[in-house]
Structure 1
């Protein structure tokens, strides 16, 4: 077999223009190929409250807000972004955390303080962006401005004063309210938020009792709590602010409260959309968008511990006039006028 060889024009011989161009292009090809190499795809592990198949644009409102904000920032699922999804399941937090960490994503996003706590215990290296309650109270970070470690996020808890505001709004809706049950975990009842609610109740002349629930919150736990309540001894219900931990059971909670025919105030508009009477909360849309920005910043090279943990600044007051009417309650006109959203 003859040897293959490249033959160049001899020294001093004129080089044809076509030959020169061909050699120049050949020499440039490796550099062009390198320049055209697509950037590596980023991998996001997302843990949400909805079913996995619903955590997509157009299927779930909060997932749509989050993914569309990432798109606006230049990360598009199916293009330069891979999203692996898990549904938060009560009682399986540690198992989910280990499974997610084993996939070695670039960033983990999650909803709920308990899930964030489990993820923090499972990894000290993979960046975590969490939507939680008060991250300091739950030991996620020690400083909002510089969280340190591998976790940052947004807090739906805008301060314990919001907890008292919910009781005040409920009292404004129901004159002569005397006895209220505060559905909460032990930590919320004994913590700063619970203390503020108890202080507000005292100022309003309301007797406040605890409807005890324990984490992980689930159907059996809620049913046990409600079965222990005496309907004729209560005038209203306030749901504690435990981050989004109550949300997976919103339909059950609304149903149980409707069965007791008691006015209640909730922590998120989703409860009111499901039939609850009122909610007062931070503006969840702006918080979800901020969480997406934090994911983007980490994709671009920022360290999670250097990104401030964002605290809510905007609030939503939502009322459901249909539910109030079914309960025989005529909400004061001034209260309805103060609502950011009214469900007729």
Structure 2
């Protein structure tokens, strides 16, 4: 975000001041109230913090980076015309769901059963599930859906996917699931069930691979929305954008531990390979 703002002529200490608060959704409203006392021209909120900020009584525009569906979450009336004081970047990319399954199939040609770990309280999860089922049907895969809403739910989900003989895991990316990325990686390695998701931190935590938005680039993109608001644009008139840059990240160490070979054709498409 800072880098994106600098590229657009906004320099801290010269014509820009950034005040930060960090917390969770439960503290979002209180933290936003603190910031509003400083009379900002725009608030920027990430993830679950957006859901806490949206109902704060204020006219200050909010630019969000949100991993789910902002329309279902009530953040915007539509992607094209948000209609309120919130707009930003929606990180969910349904067209990538099938790509993750296709890559899995390239790595595991005999793959037939896939378990999906997803948080049903996350806005847009059902859209992603439908897209996953459609892609799985095209690839001849059987899908096992395992809802998880807290860390404790993984203690139920893991034995269930073993009982159903899942050969791979697709984890839908949201903050709760990502908080368990290392737990998933440890289970994956122990039982030799490869796991993939959509954010690079999932691969960084020890899982096989990720394919999805480049989050750093997406936040530079969000800086463009902030820039337009600082120059007088109304958030209601600024369409909710989707990421313009995507990345495939492969954890080679995880692949070796899982006994998965990475074909050269897949490796060549990777932005990063963790060795």
Separation in 1 of the partners of 2:60 and 2:156? Answer: 38
1:15-74: CA deviations, max 9, x gaps?
Answer: xxxxxxxxxxxxxxxxxxxxxxxxxxxxxxxxxxxxxxxxxxxxxxxxxxx112222323
Distance 2:43 2:179 in 1: 20
Q: Does 1:277 align with 2:208?
A: yes
* More displaced 10-residue stretch of structure 1: 331-340 or 302-311: 331-340
Q: For residues 194-213 of structure 1, what are the structure 2 equivalents within 5 Å?
A: 194-213=129-148
1:233 paired residue number: 165
Contact between 1:148 and 1:306, CA under 8 Å: does it hold in 2? Answer: yes
Q: Does 1:166 pair with 2:100?
A: yes
Residue of structure 2 aligned with 1:139, choices 64, 74, 80 = 74
- How far did 1:249 drift? 4.1
1:317–1:339 Cα contact (<8 Å) kept: yes
- Partner residue in 2 for 1:304: 235
Q: CA deviation at 1:329?
A: 1.2
Q: Is the 8 A contact 1:231 1:260 kept in 2?
A: no
> Any residues of structure 2 matched to 1:82-97 within 5 Å, and which?
82-89=17-24, 93-97=25-29
Q: Decide whether aligned partners of structure 1 residues 128 and 247 sit closer, same or farther in structure 2, where only a CA change above 3 A counts.
A: farther
Unaligned runs of 5+ in 1: 1-65
- Within 2, Cα distance between the matches of 1:73 and 1:340? 26
Provide the alpha-carbon RMSD of the alignment: 2.4
Greater relative contact order (CA < 8 Å, ≥ 6 in sequence): 2
What do the CA deviations read for 1:161-218 (whole angstroms, capped 9, x no partner)?
A: 211221121122112112211011225697222112112222322221112112xx5x
1: distance between equivalents of 2:198 and 2:217? 16
Question: Stretches of 4+ moved more than 4 A in 1?
Answer: 187-190
CA distance in 2 between partners of 1:280 and 1:149 (Å) = 32
Q: Distance in 2 between matches of 1:261 and 1:117?
A: 37
SS of aligned partner of 1:237: strand
TM-score in terms of structure 1 length = 0.71
Could you tell me which runs of 5 or more consecutive residues in structure 2 were left unpaired when the two chains were aligned.
Answer: none
Deviation at 1:227, TM superposition (A): 5.0
Given the superposition, is the C-alpha separation of residues 225 and 122 from structure 1 closer, same or farther in structure 2, using an over 3 Å criterion? Answer: farther
Q: Does the C-alpha gap of structure 1 residues 221 and 83 become closer, same or farther in structure 2, counting only changes over 3 Å?
A: farther
Task: Tell me the CA shift for residue 120 of structure 1.
Answer: 1.0
Alignment-derived partner of residue 51 in structure 2? 117
Equivalenced residues, count: 270
Deviates more, 1:280-289 or 1:227-236: 227-236
Match of 1:265? 196
Say if 1:187 and 1:161 are closer, same or farther in 2 by CA, change over 3 A.
farther
- Find the residue that maps to 1:81 and give its secondary structure: coil
Q: Helix, strand or coil: the match of 2:59?
A: coil
Instruction: Give the aligned partner of residue 192 of structure 1.
Output: 127
